[in-house]
Structure 1
């Protein structure tokens, strides 16, 4: 009988602890809901929408070649990476392999390294053989023209019937097979 009383008392204490923890979680969820509700809406998008037109830009590649919106051919793969970003480091090898398998070579691939101070060297070394590479500060010409605010961003762009450069995909799956060169 004393074991039964002790077991019931332990189960009661365990249930009380569970109730206290659950009430704490509920309180915290309410606080987060209020914070999210007071957050200003209408912030800048993180990626351009499919069908969105790419803005005008003028920049130079790391090789010194001038690059503008008119220089992007049909079906161009565009990747935005940042050395400060762990997911960028994880996606980089897949992007390089995917870009290598595309028809059209380097002229059909644009890689943008957005760096606020970290050394872009490892990214530059990996991307240069397969893409035209631009290194820029956050909020640079290409980030603004493509409306990219989060990294990595993998896009496909092409010219529509009217000659406008538009985004055809804002989520490129690097693991899907591509026609070989």
Structure 2
């Protein structure tokens, strides 16, 4: 009989310990879920659909009024591991949509690296700037890469952290 009592007490202690650990895991999962919700594409790091693009781009990077505004804008960082993989998709979108070089802006942030200018120079206006340069700051870019499709009215039609996430291009 004493063995039976010891076994029941042992099972009770193990069950109580299991319950405490389960509650700890559930609490940790809720914390991680809340953090991940803020990092989803289309979240707070991108301009909202329908918002106006910053004036620095709407009037042309040289400050003069531009007869056109970019229809596609891509933000890349030279230290970003995901950015080089998006370049072929970016170039394919430019080709498939039929954009000319004046309608496409590629902003490369970070330490100077001419590989982006070489890869995209024929298809886009490439702007190289230091980390947190003027264009990146105006767009409040916090995630690299980031992409925007812009309508003729200068409003964001679509924004995403991958080219494929942009959806159907706006033909300008």
Give the TM-score band, short-chain normalised. 0.5 to 0.7
Q: Identify unmatched segments of 5+ residues in structure 1.
A: 1-7, 37-44, 59-64
CA distance in 2, matches of 1:111, 1:87: 15
- SS of equivalent to 2:138: helix
1:50 matched to 2:45:
no
CA shift in 2, pair 1:99/1:152, >3 Å: same
Correspondence for 1:141: 134
CA shift in 2, pair 1:138/1:96, >3 Å: same
Correspondence for 2:77: 82
CA shift in 2, pair 1:52/1:123, >3 Å: same
Q: TM-score, structure 1 length as denominator?
A: 0.63
CA distance in 2, matches of 1:101, 1:107: 16
- SS of equivalent to 2:62: strand
Q: TM-score, structure 2 length as denominator?
A: 0.65
Paired residues of 2:90 and 2:163 also in contact (CA < 8 A): no
1:110 matched to 2:105:
yes
Cα distance, 1:89 vs structure 2: 2.2
CA shift in 2, pair 1:96/1:140, >3 Å: same
Correspondence for 1:169: 158
CA shift in 2, pair 1:179/1:113, >3 Å: closer
Paired residues of 1:80 and 1:113 also in contact (CA < 8 A): yes
Paired residues of 2:71 and 2:170 also in contact (CA < 8 A): no
CA distance in 2, matches of 1:139, 1:24: 39
Paired residues of 1:112 and 1:134 also in contact (CA < 8 A): yes
1:101 matched to 2:91:
no
Correspondence for 1:152: 145
